[in-house]
C-alpha cells in the first residue's frame, strides 16, 4: 500500500527517482529477514544430496575445484556504501519469500485516527485546529509501531510537528559530494561507537549513512559560520539615515534585524560538530525513510530547536543540567536533598541524557515514542523527562549508600510511564522556571 505525502503544506524530500503523485510513496518495510534458518538448512541439504547422488552439477563443481557462490542479501538500510556480507557457499534453492510484516497501513487494515489525520491533512483547511488535534492524539493514543519501533507514518508526523520544509535531494547530494568537511576526522572518531550495542539500529542504519549525514550537516554549519555578513546598500543606508533624522513623534519602528542577535548569530557562534551529535542524529536516521529526510529533520533541529547544544561551550546543555537539579528540588525535595548531600548533581550523570534527548538510554523503540511526545509539546520537556526517570528510581536511590553507582546507567526507558509522570510534573513547575526551560537550548 503506497504511503501518500501528508497534505499539511510541508512534506518530505522530493527525491527525483520517485513519482511525485500524492499516493505513490512506497510502504515502509522494516529490516527484512534475509535468510531464514530453515532456508539455510534446505540449501545445505540440497547441496549435500546433489553431492551424494553424483549429479552433474555436483560433479562438475567438484572437478573444477570451485564452488558456486551466491551473494547474501543485505538488510534494508539507509546506506548504499556498506560492506557486503560474506557470500553463501551453498547452491541457491528457490524458496518462498516471507510476506512483509504489516504495520497498520495496508489494504483491509484499520488505520488509527492519528494516521488518518497525518495522511489526509487538516479538515476544512483549519491547520491550527488540526495541529492541536494531532498533538492530543500523540499524547492520548500514541504512534502505532511494530516491535522494532517502525511506523509507516512517524517520519511524516515529525516533519509536520517540527514544520520542516521539503528539501530537494540534489541539495543533500551536493553537500555529500563535497567530500570530507573540516570536522570529518572528529565525525569518523565517533560514528563507529553510535548505539554500538543496539542490534536494531545496527541492522537498519550503517556507519556510512551516519558519516554522510553528519558530514553534510557539518558542511552546512560551516558555510553558515563563514558566510560574510552583507553590508547595507546605499539606498538602505539612506533609509536608515532618514530614520535616524526623523522626529520621534512620527518615527516608525524599523524592521531591521539586529546582526548581533537572533538565530543567525547563534549559528555563527556554533561549532560545526560536537561530540554527542552522532547519538542525537541516530533516531532521525532510524525513523526516516531516506537520508534526505533525516538530514532535513536533524539540521532543522540542531539549528532551530537547540542551537545552544552545539555551540562550542555547549552552554545550552549546561543550562539544562542546572534546570534538572532545580526542577528535581521543587517536585521531589527529599530525593534532591539526598543526592546533593552525596555530591550527585545532574552534571555528573545527566549530561548525555540532556544532550541527546534521552536517545542514549535504550531501548530505541521507546526513544522514538518519547520523541513523538517531545516534538509534539516541545523538546524542552526532556528536562522533566529526566526528572521523571529519577523519581521512578526514587526508592532505589534513597536506599543506596552510593547513588552514583546506580546513576551510572539509567534503567531502560519506559516512554509511556515517563510521559504520564512528566505531564503531572509540568503542573508543579513555576511559570518563571518553565520559561527558562523553554529557552534554555536557544
Residue 96: pLDDT band with limits 50, 70, 90: low
Mean pLDDT, residues 373-391 taken together = 98
pLDDT at 394 exceeding the cut of 70: yes
Residues 157/143, Cβ–Cβ less than 8 Å = yes
| Cβ neighbours of residue 223 closer than 8 Å, sequence gap 6 or more | none
pLDDT at position 362:
95
Mean pLDDT, residues 68-90 taken together = 43
Residue 231: pLDDT band with limits 50, 70, 90: low
Residue 321: pLDDT band with limits 50, 70, 90: very high
pLDDT at position 5:
52
Distance (Å, rounded) from C-alpha 375 to C-alpha 147?
21
Distance (Å, rounded) from C-alpha 295 to C-alpha 306?
15
pLDDT at 331 exceeding the cut of 70: yes
| Cβ neighbours of residue 36 closer than 8 Å, sequence gap 6 or more | 98
Q: pTM for this structure?
A: 0.70
Residue by residue, DSSP assigns 105-133 as -STTPPPPHHHHHHHH--GGG-HHHHHHH
- Per the model's pLDDT, the better-predicted residue between 291 and 125 turns out to be 291
Is 342 in a helix, a strand, or coil?
coil
pLDDT at 185 exceeding the cut of 80: yes
Mean pLDDT, residues 80-88 taken together = 42
Distance (Å, rounded) from C-alpha 344 to C-alpha 365?
29
pLDDT at 14 exceeding the cut of 50: no
pLDDT at position 271:
81
Distance (Å, rounded) from C-alpha 41 to C-alpha 144?
35
- Per the model's pLDDT, the better-predicted residue between 24 and 328 turns out to be 328
pLDDT at 323 exceeding the cut of 50: yes
* Complete domains list, the chain, with CATH: 113-162 (no CATH), 169-225+268-439 (1.10.472.80)
Distance (Å, rounded) from C-alpha 32 to C-alpha 17?
22
Amino acid at each position: 500500500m503506497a504511503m501518500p505525502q501528508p497534505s499539511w503544506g510541508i512534506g518530505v524530500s522530493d527525491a527525483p527517482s520517485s513519482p511525485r503523485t500524492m499516493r505513490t510513496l512506497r510502504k515502509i518495510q522494516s529490516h527484512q529477514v534475509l535468510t531464514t534458518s530453515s532456508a539455510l538448512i534446505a540449501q545445505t541439504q540440497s547441496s549435500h544430496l546433489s553431492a551424494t547422488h553424483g549429479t552433474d552439477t555436483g560433479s562438475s563443481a567438484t572437478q573444477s575445484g570451485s564452488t558456486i557462490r551466491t551473494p547474501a542479501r543485505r538488510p534494508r538500510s539507509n546506506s548504499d556504501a556498506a560492506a557486503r556480507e560474506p557470500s553463501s557457499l551453498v547452491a541457491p534453492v528457490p524458496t518462498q519469500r516471507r510476506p512483509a510484516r504489516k504495520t497498520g497501513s495496508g489494504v483491509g487494515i484499520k488505520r488509527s485516527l492519528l494516521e488518518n489525520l497525518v495522511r489526509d491533512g487538516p479538515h476544512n483547511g483549519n491547520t491550527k485546529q488540526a495541529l492541536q488535534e494531532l498533538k492530543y492524539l500523540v499524547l492520548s493514543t500514541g504512534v502505532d509501531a511494530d516491535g522494532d519501533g517502525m511506523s509507516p507514518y512517524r517520519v511524516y508526523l515529525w516533519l509536520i510537528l517540527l514544520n520542516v520544509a521539503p528539501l530537494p535531494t540534489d541539495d543533500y547530494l551536493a553537500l555529500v559530494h563535497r567530500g570530507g568537511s573540516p570536522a570529518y576526522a572528529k565525525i569518523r572518531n565517533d560514528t563507529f561507537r553510535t548505539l554500538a550495542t543496539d542490534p536494531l539500529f545496527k541492522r537498519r542504519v550503517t556507519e556510512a549513512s551516519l558519516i554522510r549525514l553528519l558530514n553534510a550537516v557539518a558542511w552546512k554549519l560551516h558555510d553558515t559560520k563563514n558566510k560574510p555578513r552583507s553590508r547595507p546598500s546605499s539606498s538602505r543606508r539612506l533609509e536608515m539615515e532618514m530614520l535616524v533624522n526623523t522626529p520621534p513623534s512620527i518615527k516608525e519602528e524599523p524592521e531591521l534585524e539586529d546582526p548581533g542577535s537572533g538565530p543567525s548569530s547563534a549559528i555563527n557562534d556554533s561549532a560545526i560538530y560536537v561530540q554527542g551529535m552522532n547519538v542525537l542524529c541516530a533516531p532521525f536516521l532510524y525513523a526516516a525513510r531516506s537520508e534526505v529526510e533525516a538530514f532535513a529533520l536533524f539540521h532543522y533541529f540542531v539549528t532551530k530547536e537547540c542551537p545552544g547544544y552545539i555551540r562550542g561551550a555547549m552552554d545550552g546543555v549546561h543550562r539544562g543540567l542546572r534546570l534538572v537539579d532545580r526542577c528535581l528540588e521543587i517536585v521531589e525535595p527529599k530525593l534532591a536533598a539526598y543526592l546533593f548531600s552525596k555530591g550527585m548533581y545532574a552534571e555528573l550523570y545527566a549530561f548525555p541524557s540532556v544532550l541527546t534527548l534521552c536517545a542514549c538510554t535504550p531501548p530505541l523503540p521507546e526513544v522514538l515514542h518519547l520523541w513523538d511526545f517531545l516534538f509534539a509539546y516541545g523538546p524542552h520537556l526532556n528536562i522533566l523527562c529526566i526528572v521523571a526517570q529519577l523519581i521512578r528510581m526514587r526508592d532505589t536511590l534513597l536506599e543506596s549508600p552510593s547513588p552514583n553507582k546506580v546513576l551510572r546507567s539509567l534503567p531502560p526507558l519506559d516512554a509511556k510511564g515517563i510521559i504520564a509522570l512528566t505531564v503531572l510534573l509540568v503542573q508543579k513547575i513555576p511559570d518563571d522556571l518553565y520559561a527558562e526551560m523553554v529557552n534554555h537550548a536557544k
